[in-house]
Amino acid sequence: MPWGSKRKSSRMHPKRKQRLLVIGVLVGGVGLTTALVLNALNENINLFYPPDQIVAGMAPVDQRIRAGGVVVEGSVFRETGSMMVSFLISDLDGSEVPVTFEGILPNLFGEGQGIVANGRLGADGVFVASEVLAKHDENYMPAELAAMRGRKPPMGNEVDSGSNGYSAGG
Amino acid sequence: MKYIFDRLRWPDGLRRLWHRMGSPRWFYETTGPWVPWLAAAAALLIGVGTVWGLAYAPPDYLQGDSFRIIYIHVPAAYLAQAGYILMAICGVVLLVWRMKLADMVMATVAPIGAAFTFLALATGSIWGKPTWGTYWIWDARITSVLILLFLYLGIMGLRRAIERPEAAGRACAILAIVGVINIPIIKYSVDWWMTLHQPATFSVTSAPAMPPIMWLPLLLNVLGFNLLFAVSVIQGTRTEVLLRERRTRWVTDLCRQERA
């Protein structure tokens, strides 16, 4: 017996078809509107300015903004006798922005780690941060595995995982 | 479009099943025996997964022990979204087929989904302090999940605000269906915009960014949370069925039997 014959199957009720169509149009319309609004607001939804935008002068000077990037290896300097820290953040693509911060850094702060800083960009191109937040990536692994892959936790933040910590694997 | 619609046909067996499923009484009688089994399986999976995750899985090389909150955060966040999608599907079924049972499920899912959303936000916040350095930030991911919580609360409020149950159900269905647009925004917020929240660790297309010793307990908890959600929705819907059908013959008979 063929698939569409009268006895084995029946068509969707026209009223229901119409309602389904109305819902489809409703969702499509609202979806399109939302997409347009989000697209128009795109720049404002971003939490922070990446280094290349700051270097290109796209970030406003002397306004409260956030800057985000990866802390450049070997760029962290701590002033003796104060809580002053300075470092460079990079987008790993050549653009670097100097950041200064006075205060307590989060535990996950470290060279090679992502951060988001809240503060003001000076006319001299130095970002003066009033708050530094640490970003972490989506990768999780035990210390031993991290050591094998050459990943190090940030300085002064050793993870205690039994007898051989991350340093065991070199 | 018209061509496709004109050829939408139901095999008759499926159609009969669909109509039987729409019967609140059928739902009540069929799901009764499932409840204890589902509850026991959920308790077992969540128990094993949580103890394994909190006590035996290795600490993360970077975050140490604080990453363990993932074993609650990820299942809660996943079900917060899955619950919303379920509610929207029920909304379509209610509006198109006028199936009363769909409205009862929708009414039950809203507070349960809101609870999971709250749990996802709370665990995320607690996790944020030791890792990011803040309990809260208005980034796209966190804000869109907060909107999800408000959608759930809005749907709960809307139902109570409209007196006639049919009108309340339809209004909630429309809000649920329109709000489903927030779900892809939540999912892709970490890819579309620069956020503090990291991108997804798990995806359908690639290997998890986590070794099995870490994701196995998470898998158990995700399965367990699924069953917990299922048993909560089923039990809640059964209560809703009795409440709304309390004047029907089969419910009054049931009550008499229970009393005897």
Q: Give the CATH H-level superfamily of domain A48-135.
A: Nucleic acid-binding proteins (2.40.50.140)
pLDDT exceeding 90 applies to what percent of chain B? Answer: 72
H-run or E-run covering A36 = helix A14-40
> Please, which pLDDT band fits residue B5 given cuts at 50, 70 and 90?
low
Q: What is the pLDDT of residue B217?
A: 94
The per-residue pLDDT for range A34-81, each reduced to its tens digit, is 999 998 888 788 899 999 999 988 889 989 999 999 999 989 999 888
In chain A, what residues touch B210 (CB-CB under 8 Å)? Answer: 139-141
The candidate with the shortest Cα–Cα distance to A47, out of A122, A110, A114, is A114
* Res B8 pLDDT > 90: no
Q: What is the pLDDT of residue A167?
A: 35
Q: How far is B210 from chain A (nearest CA, A)?
A: 5
Tell me which residues of chain A have a pLDDT lower than 70.
1-11, 152-170
* B9: contact with A, CB 8 A cutoff: yes
Please, what is the average pLDDT of chain B?
Answer: 92
Q: What is the pLDDT of residue A152?
A: 66
Q: Which neighbouring-strand residues pair with A69?
A: A115
For chain A, what are the domain ranges? 11-45, 48-135
Please, what is the average pLDDT of chain A?
Answer: 81
* Res B215 pLDDT > 50: yes
Q: What is the pLDDT of residue A161?
A: 39
Cβ neighbours of residue A104 closer than 8 Å, sequence gap 6 or more: A83
Asked if B133 and A106 come within 8 Å (Cβ–Cβ), the reply is yes
The per-residue pLDDT for range B113-149, each reduced to its tens digit, is 999 999 999 999 999 999 898 999 999 999 999 999 9
* A88: contact with B, CB 8 A cutoff: no
For residue A137, give the nearest of B97, B181, B198 by CB distance: B198
Q: Return the beta strands (E) in A24-162 as ranges.
A: 64-71, 77-78, 84-90, 96-102, 114-121, 127-135
Of A103-107, B91-95, B252-256, which gets the smallest average pLDDT? A103-107
Asked if A116 and B200 come within 8 Å (Cβ–Cβ), the reply is no
DSSP state at residue A166 = G
* Res B200 pLDDT > 80: yes
For chain B, what are the domain ranges? 70-199+209-252
Q: What is the pLDDT of residue B7?
A: 66
Closest residue, chain B, to A11 (C-alpha): B9
- Tokens standing for A56? 């290109």
Asked if B194 and A50 come within 8 Å (Cβ–Cβ), the reply is yes
* A6: contact with B, CB 8 A cutoff: no
Give the number of beta-carbon pairs within 8 Å between A and B.
156
Q: What is the pLDDT of residue A148?
A: 79
Q: How far is A137 from chain B (nearest CA, A)?
A: 5
Predicted TM-score (pTM) of the model is 0.88
Q: Is A148 helix (H, G, I), strand (E, B) or coil?
A: helix
The per-residue pLDDT for range B72-90, each reduced to its tens digit, is 999 999 999 999 999 999 9
What DSSP letter does each residue of chain B carry, written as one string? -HHHHHT-EEEHHHHHHHHHHT-HHHHHHHHTTHHHHHHHHHHHHHHHHHHIIIIISPPBTTTBGGGGGHHHHHHHHHHHHHHHHHHHHHHHHHHHH--HHHHHHHHHHHHHHHHHHHHHHHHHHHHHHHHTS-S----HHHHHHHHHHHHHHHHHHHHHH-SSHHHHHHHHHHHHHHHTTHHHHHHHHHHHS--SS---S--SSS--SS-HHHHHHHHHHHHHHHHHHHHHHHHHHHHHHHHHTTTSHHHHHHHHHHH-
Rounded CA-CA distance A143/A152 in Å is 9
* B12: contact with A, CB 8 A cutoff: yes
Q: What is the pLDDT of residue A158?
A: 43
Asked if A46 and B193 come within 8 Å (Cβ–Cβ), the reply is yes
